Amino acid sequence: MRKALYPGSFDPITNGHVDILERAAKIFDLVEVAVLENPSKEPLFTVEERVRMIEEIFRGKEKIKVGSFRGLLVEYAKKTGAQVIIRGLRAISDFEYEFQMALMNFKMEPQIEIIFMMPRVEYSFLSSKLVKEIYSLGGTLPDLVPPAVDRELKKKFNDT
Ligand code: PNS
């Protein structure tokens, strides 16, 4: 079975991530969204909240699963039997960081392949960081985030 991991912070997941996941699921038998548990990044959503939102979005999609991890990504990939790590690559600005990470991961674990996928053009400017900023200032982006995320962002900022 060809299993891929799609790791990230997903704080929160956007339609850009969803697009890559749905396309990756056409290539692999199973794709696991691996949500980084990293309190030092001070996420807006807890790891449980991020996982719950992603589960809601992909409910009923057999080829997409959700998990969370801490520590090294390549260790988690080995532990979960993934042969491939998928990362999205939006603009040139993503390239340097992604290139460094890919080469380090490859150095530690040459058995694991790292594959980059381009987002659709309508999502190539989209980032979780800007989504959070816009919602925090009272704006909304219903075309760019799944309904569950739109709902949870509104809840988060209306409650604070
Ligand atoms: O969505 P992000 O924040 O760009 O995702 C970054 C992520 C989770 C892929 C990266 O921070 C990561 O892999 N963290 C786990 C720790 C690790 O393995 N570090 C070594 C990278 S070479």
Question: Which domains, from first to last, does the chain contain?
Answer: 3-124 (3.40.50.620)
Using a 6 Å CB cutoff, which residues line ligand 1? 7-9, 36, 72-73, 101, 104-105
pLDDT on residue 147: 98
Strand order from edge to edge, sheet including 30-36: 64-69, 30-36, 3-8, 84-88, 113-117
Query: Which residue ranges of the chain lie beneath pLDDT 70?
Result: 159-160
pLDDT on residue 124: 92
- Which amino acid is present at 141? L
Pick the catalytic residue: 17, 50, 87, 132?
A: 17
Distance CA 37, CA 9 (A): 8
48 Cα to the center of ligand 1, angstroms: 18
Longest CA pairwise span in the chain (Å): 46
Q: pTM of the prediction?
A: 0.96
Cβ(29)–Cβ(63) below 8 Å: yes
pLDDT on residue 159: 67
pLDDT on residue 92: 81
**Beta-strand (E) ranges in 54-138?**
64-69, 84-88, 113-117
Which ligand 1 atom is the nearest neighbour of the CA of 100? 22
pLDDT on residue 93: 80
